[in-house]
Amino acid sequence: MTNEELIAIETFCIHQEVETTFVLDLHERGLIHITVVNDKRFLVTDELPRIEQLARMHYDLDINPEGLEAISHLLERMQELQERMREMELRVKMFDAEADRQE
């Protein structure tokens, strides 16, 4: 991982107008990852959309941290199920194509 892939938590919080304690709470709950380099805490840029989404739910919709955990779990589960459904659709298409070739 290079330094270009990291953003300081303080920079993120200032830019997004969120409290540092909110980001640290997300980390403590296992909802995001924090990387420590030279005693400074950073966020991985790949996770920024997820953190921004959680921040919007918390600040705009007034969803408490426990609710964020539940919603996060449900969103992850839904994404897993959607991926499984795509895989099944591909299998069905391959099966149909194989059946058409055998006719």
User: Mean per-residue pLDDT for 82-99?
Assistant: 93
Residues composing the chain? 103
Is the pTM of the predicted complex or chain greater than 0.85?
no
- Domains of the chain plus CATH, in order, are 3-76 (1.10.1660.10)
Cα 97 to the center of its chain, rounded Å = 36
Which carries the bigger pLDDT value, residue 3 or residue 29?
29
